[in-house]
């Protein structure tokens, strides 16, 4: 009985949303309701996920693990953000200052670290994989794209030179298109497998 | 007061920047401190964001201000949310299958619709459109260039797809048979390799230039901070 109910809900929701793609006018209000409820459930699931994160760090602090100090920092930062967010409103300057002054330096610095990591990783790629058609194409494309972005490669604004530049800019789109089509086919197959109940991500 | 408040944030940003950049010397306690602080703040932010942008407008406000039929309709998501929360307790895991089935159905249908209408049809259409003779003759003296461009796009796309060709093992097939692919597929996948390399190289260059800009921004910030510090003494 429970299994039938679960599959019925899955099919009802899945087919309603799919039908909404073909009859957007007729099914619009129902579709909005279904998606709104889905957003509520996904939001709750995210809160549960964060709850687990906090729970695991509380237990690390309670056990006085090797690096429980770091877990304490995480819990302190979490509590401080929640308290500041609750005392002041979400758009209050003090709350936005807190967010910007933590988020901006950490995210930009992580991106800066990425620059160095990417550079060393690309050298390592060539040294471990050797000169294969893919690695040669990778390196040439990276150099040409960097040159195009920096404006170092200039072949004029019209005529054959401009066409070649356009072609060079469009060339990476060929592989991207193939990868996107592959991802689309993969998404379609996984979605259909769930809707046909071959895959059961919701458990039995 | 405002002055010291701003200074406090600048010093805080400076220390966080140094802590994260210290990762370049290897994994260390300062980097971990900054990352744990960041995760804590972001987790708190996400909780507040979900409460403010999802739970309040979609659930609490309609219940408080809504009409009776509207409130009754909200009973369904409330029950599903209750089941999802209850399923986290030991022995009650089975209760969670209903809200999970709801989310799986929604996600699967959105994935199918998004894949077909958002990716497969527009991308295939773009390839077909490039073979439109009207486009070939649109610019004089460039017809052959356009034809070459269209053929290259088609061969590259098919080649890329061939490189990611995944077959399912049939019972009658031996391991040796599996390793052998049809010659045409093998040839196309070799062409695909080159195009994948070109695409990944372009993506790499894009990410690298933005991260390089971030590095320059952070180095400038550190330089300015130290400069201002020495000037103030």
Instruction: Print pLDDT tens along chain A (204 aa).
Output: 778 888 999 999 999 999 998 888 888 889 999 999 999 999 999 999 999 999 999 999 999 888 899 999 999 999 999 999 999 887 888 888 888 889 999 999 999 999 999 888 888 888 887 888 888 998 999 999 998 888 877 777 777 777 788 888 888 988 899 999 999 999 999 999 988 888 888 776
Cβ–Cβ of B199/A48 closer than 8 Å? no
For residues B185 and B156, is the Cβ–Cβ distance under 8 A? no
Cβ–Cβ of B160/A13 closer than 8 Å? no
Torsion of the alpha carbons at A182, A184, A189 and A191, rounded to the nearest 10: 150
Chain A residues in contact with B205 by the CB 8 A cut-off are 141-143, 145-146, 149
| Residue to substitute from B108, B144, B210, interface A, most A β-carbons within 10 A | B108
| Residue to substitute from B12, B109, B215, interface A, most A β-carbons within 10 A | B109
- Give me the pLDDT at residue B166, please: 63
Run of H or E residues at A12: helix A2-22
Cβ–Cβ of A142/B96 closer than 8 Å? no
- Within 10 A of B31 (CB to CB), how many other CB atoms are there? 21
The average pLDDT across B74-79 equals 91
Reference B38, options A128, A51, A121, A70; nearest CA is A70
Reference A165, options A142, A140, A139, A147; nearest CA is A147
Cβ–Cβ of A183/B119 closer than 8 Å? yes
Nearest-CA residue of chain A relative to B84? A45
The answer for residues whose C-beta is within 8 angstroms of residue A5's C-beta and 6 or more apart is B98
The average pLDDT across B74-103 equals 90
User: SS3 of A111, please?
Assistant: helix
The answer for residues whose C-beta is within 8 angstroms of residue A8's C-beta and 6 or more apart is none
| Residue to substitute from A31, A184, A192, interface B, most B β-carbons within 10 A | A184
- State yes or no: pLDDT of B233 exceeds 80: no
Q: Is A98 on the interface with B (CB under 8 A)?
A: yes
pLDDT digits (tens, 9 = 90+) for A26-58: 888 899 999 999 999 999 999 999 999 999 999
For residues A10 and A195, is the Cβ–Cβ distance under 8 A? yes
Instruction: Write the residue in A2, A17, A21 that is nearest to B117 by C-beta.
Output: A21
| Residue to substitute from B12, B36, B72, B192, interface A, most A β-carbons within 10 A | B36
- State yes or no: pLDDT of B52 exceeds 50: yes
- Give me the pLDDT at residue A112, please: 93
Cβ–Cβ of B197/A172 closer than 8 Å? no
How far is Cα B95 from Cα B73, in angstroms, rounded to an integer? 21
Chain A residues in contact with B17 by the CB 8 A cut-off are 105, 108-109
For residues A190 and B107, is the Cβ–Cβ distance under 8 A? no
Radius of gyration of chain A (CA): 26
Residue whose structure tokens are 């709750």? A44
Chain B residues in contact with A177 by the CB 8 A cut-off are 123, 126-127, 153, 156-157, 160
How far is Cα B89 from Cα B93, in angstroms, rounded to an integer? 7
- Give me the pLDDT at residue B3, please: 59
Q: In Å, how far is A132's CA from the nearest CA of chain B?
A: 9
Write the burial class of residue B141 (CB in 10 Å: 0-12 exposed, 13-18 middle, 19+ buried): exposed
User: SS3 of A4, please?
Assistant: helix
Nearest-CA residue of chain A relative to B45? A81
The pair of three-digit structure tokens given for residue B83, joined into one six-digit string? 């089941």
The pair of three-digit structure tokens given for residue B189, joined into one six-digit string? 């996948």
The pair of three-digit structure tokens given for residue A178, joined into one six-digit string? 């193939």
The pair of three-digit structure tokens given for residue A187, joined into one six-digit string? 């998404």
Cβ–Cβ of B108/A179 closer than 8 Å? no
Q: Where are the domains of chain B?
A: 1-65, 84-130, 133-165+182-232
Write the burial class of residue B170 (CB in 10 Å: 0-12 exposed, 13-18 middle, 19+ buried): exposed
The pair of three-digit structure tokens given for residue B58, joined into one six-digit string? 């979609």
- Give me the pLDDT at residue A204, please: 61
For residues B205 and A145, is the Cβ–Cβ distance under 8 A? yes
Q: What ipTM does the predicted assembly reach? A: 0.85
- State yes or no: pLDDT of B1 exceeds 50: no
Run of H or E residues at B33: helix B29-50
Instruction: Write the residue in B40, B48, B104 that is nearest to A90 by C-beta.
Output: B48
Q: Is A125 on the interface with B (CB under 8 A)?
A: no
Helix boundaries (H) for A64-132: 68-87, 93-129
Nearest-CA residue of chain B relative to A45? B84
C-alpha angle with apex B148: B143 to B151, nearest 5 degrees? 125
For residues B99 and B80, is the Cβ–Cβ distance under 8 A? yes
Q: Is the pTM of this model over 0.80?
A: yes
For residues B145 and A163, is the Cβ–Cβ distance under 8 A? yes
């Amino acid at each position: 009985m429970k299994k039938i109910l679960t599959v019925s809900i899955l099919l009802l929701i899945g087919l309603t949303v799919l039908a909404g793609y073909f009859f957007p006018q007729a099914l619009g209000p129902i579709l909005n309701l279904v998606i709104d409820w889905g957003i509520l459930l996904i939001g709750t699931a995210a809160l549960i996920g964060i709850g687990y994160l906090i729970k695991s760090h509380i237990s690390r602090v309670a056990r006085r693990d090797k690096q429980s100090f770091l877990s304490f920092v995480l819990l302190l930062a979490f509590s401080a953000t929640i308290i500041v967010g609750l005392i002041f409103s979400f758009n209050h300057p003090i709350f936005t200052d807190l967010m910007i002054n933590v988020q901006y330096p950490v995210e930009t610095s992580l991106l800066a670290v990425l620059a160095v990591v990417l550079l060393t990783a690309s050298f390592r790629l060539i040294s471990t994989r050797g000169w294969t058609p893919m690695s040669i194409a990778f390196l040439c494309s990276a150099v040409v794209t960097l040159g195009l972005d920096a404006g170092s490669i200039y072949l004029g604004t019209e005529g054959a030179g401009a066409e070649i530049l356009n072609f060079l800019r469009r060339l990476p789109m060929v592989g991207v298109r193939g990868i996107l089509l592959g991802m689309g086919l993969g998404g379609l197959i996984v979605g259909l497998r769930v809707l046909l109940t071959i895959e059961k991500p919701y458990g039995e | 007061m405002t002055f010291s408040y701003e200074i406090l944030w600048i010093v805080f940003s400076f220390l966080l920047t140094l802590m994260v950049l210290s990762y370049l010397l290897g994994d260390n306690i300062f980097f971990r401190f900054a990352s744990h602080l960041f995760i804590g703040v972001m987790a708190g932010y996400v909780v507040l964001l979900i409460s403010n942008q999802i739970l309040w407008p979609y659930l609490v406000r309609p219940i408080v201000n809504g009409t009776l039929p509207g409130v009754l309709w909200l009973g369904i998501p409330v029950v599903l949310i209750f089941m999802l929360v209850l399923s986290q307790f030991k022995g009650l895991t089975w209760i969670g299958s209903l809200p999970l089935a709801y989310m799986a159905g929604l996600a699967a249908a959105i994935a199918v619709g998004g894949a077909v209408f958002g990716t497969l049809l527009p991308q295939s259409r773009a390839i077909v459109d490039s073979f439109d003779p009207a486009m070939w003759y649109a610019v004089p003296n460039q017809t052959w260039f356009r034809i070459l461009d269209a053929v290259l796009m088609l061969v590259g796309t098919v080649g890329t797809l061939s490189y990611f060709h995944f077959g399912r093992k049939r019972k009658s097939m031996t391991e040796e048979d599996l390793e052998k692919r049809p010659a045409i597929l093998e040839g196309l996948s070799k062409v695909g390799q080159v195009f994948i390399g070109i695409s990944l190289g372009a993506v790499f260059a894009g990410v690298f230039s933005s991260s390089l800009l971030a590095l320059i921004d952070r180095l400038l910030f550190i330089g300015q901070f130290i400069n201002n510090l020495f000037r103030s003494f």
